[in-house]
Amino acid sequence: MIKLVSILSSLLIFSGVALAQGNSAFKVGVILPLTGALAEYGAATKNGIELAKQEHPEFFQRTEFVYEDSQYEGKKALSGYQKLRNSDGVSIVYVWGYGPNQAVVPVSEKDKFPVIAITAERSLSLNKTYTLRFSYHIEMIADPLLEYLRAHNIKHVGIVKTELAYMNGLIDALQKKLKKDESIDIVDTYQPGDSDFKTTIAKLRTRKFDAVGVFLLGGQISQFYRQSAQLDLKMNTFGTDFFDSMREAQDAHGSMTGAVFAAPYSNPSFVQRYVQAFGNDFQVAWAANGYEYAILTAKLFGRGNESLGAAQIVARYRSANQEQGEAAIYKFIESIEGSGFDFKVVARRIEADKIVDLN
């Protein structure tokens, strides 16, 4: 009798282990700036992932997301990567932002560990085995800006910028495509924490530009426009995808109205659902990115009961066909400049109470 009980107990234990393995989830580490200057972007991305789970629970029964806060700092991103890989047992890590990816990708490649890099800089995935980009690239932002400027006969541009690799890369992309009668001048460069732009505004009074590019970070943008309005400086302006926030436009007290920028496309139906769920459209393009990544990953790996190596995981992403997603439009591109998923980008304009697509 004792022997029979022992055998039955063993069978139950074995069955429990087998059941647990059969139900094991595909775990994804997600490194976002959830606090700090770029927290709005991290919050939107996380909201997008969570909205995908809410709207499509059938895809996520065996897919799990584990979050870490990078504060958009390389050291914190790398620490988060190590924790997710070594303690949380994730199979892949999604890393948001150029700086965090600069810190993580060299280590993850050495570890032979897959990373989905959310960055506009294609070079981060250049000649990499385990790194794929899941974002538009800088040239895709530059092209619609140049198209807009040329359509309005804007040839001589001044730019005020924040010292950030992304801003420098975008300016380089614009300069490479200038015609002989077109020019870009850097008026002033600021650090991320700066908030007094009166010196630049005084310079702009004396400089004759057809338009001014405001290549500043969130928070700085509305401050720049408010100070310009207070000093009665009126100018034709354009900006980067950092403009893609009604909060920023509202904080500028109407002075951003008419400004044009380029940003990833977001399906209007998705934007409406997102606003209903979260009460705002702040950085909704990044919510769309998180949403589409979550859906794609769940479809590719949500079957469970699989043991996949890093190379197999990367290969499965590479095999994904073009996606007309619910939130965005994207497709995988093999490129000598760095392979990854490119997202459709459109020109947008800020109006009094909304942001509209121009194409």
Burial (CB count <10 Å: 0-12, 13-18, 19+), residue 7: exposed
User: Collapsing DSSP states into helix, strand and coil, what is residue 28?
Assistant: strand
Per-residue pLDDT tens digits for 84-135 = 999 999 999 999 999 999 999 999 999 999 999 999 988 899 999 999 999 9
Q: How many CB atoms lie within 10 A of CB 183?
A: 14
Residue 3 has pLDDT above 60, yes or no: no
| Fold matches, 12-137+267-345 and 139-263+347-357 | yes
Mean pLDDT across 243-248:
88
Nearest to residue 158, comparing CAs of 215, 225, 218? 215
The token pair at 132 is 């794929």
Q: What percent of the chain has pLDDT over 70?
A: 93
And the tokens for 263? 């940003």
Among 43, 25, 27, 21, which Cα is nearest to 84's? 27
Mean pLDDT of the chain: 91
* pLDDT for 279 beyond 70: yes
Q: Are the CB atoms for 213 and 185 separated by under 8 Å? A: no
Check whether domain 139-263+347-357 has CATH 3.40.50.2300, yes or no: yes
Task: Give the per-residue pLDDT at 321.
Answer: 76
CA distance 204 to 47: 39
Pairwise CA distance, residues 283 & 34, whole Å: 13
Give pLDDT, residue 91: 96
- Would you say residue 17 has pLDDT above 80? no
pLDDT at 12 over 60: no
Under the banding of pLDDT at 50, 70 and 90, the label for residue 2 is: very low
Nearest to 160 by CA among 203, 120, 193, 121: 203
Query: Exposed, middle or buried, 191 (CB in 10 Å: 0-12/13-18/19+)?
Result: exposed
- For residues 5 and 26, what is the distance between their CA atoms, to the nearest angstrom? 35
pLDDT tens track for 191-205: 988 999 999 999 999
CA torsion, ordered 249, 254, 255, 260, to nearest 10 deg: 50
Confidence label for 305 from pLDDT (cuts 50, 70 and 90): low
| Gap between the Cα atoms of 174 and 183, Å rounded | 10
Q: pLDDT band at 302, cuts 50/70/90?
A: confident
The predicted-structure confidence for 256-278, as pLDDT tens digits, reads as follows 999 999 999 999 999 999 999 99
Domain locations in the chain as residue ranges: 12-137+267-345, 139-263+347-357
Which helix (H) or strand (E) covers residue 254, if one does? none
Measured CA to CA in angstroms, residue 302 lies from 17, 130, 307 at distances of 20, 20, 12
For 141-190, what is each residue's pLDDT tens digit?
A: 999 999 999 999 999 999 999 998 889 999 999 999 999 999 999 999 99
How far is residue 22's CA from residue 20's CA, in Å, rounded to a whole number? 5
Q: How does DSSP classify residue 112? A: T
Closest of 31, 37, 90 to residue 63, by C-alpha = 90
Hey, what are 172's tokens? 């380089």
211 or 17: which carries more pLDDT confidence?
Answer: 211
In this predicted structure, what is the pLDDT of residue 239? Answer: 97
pLDDT band at 16 (very low <50, low <70, confident <90, very high): very low
In the numeric block, the tokens 């107990």 are attached to 9
pLDDT score, position 304 = 66
In the prediction, which pLDDT does 282 show?
A: 85
| DSSP character at residue 23 | T
Dihedral over alpha carbons 14, 17, 20, 21 (to 10 degrees):
-100
> Looking at domain 12-137+267-345, does it have CATH number 3.40.50.2300?
yes
The reported pLDDT for the residue numbered 140 is 92
CB 32 within 8 A of CB 72: no
- Pick from 51, 53, 105, 97: which is nearest to 78 by CA? 105
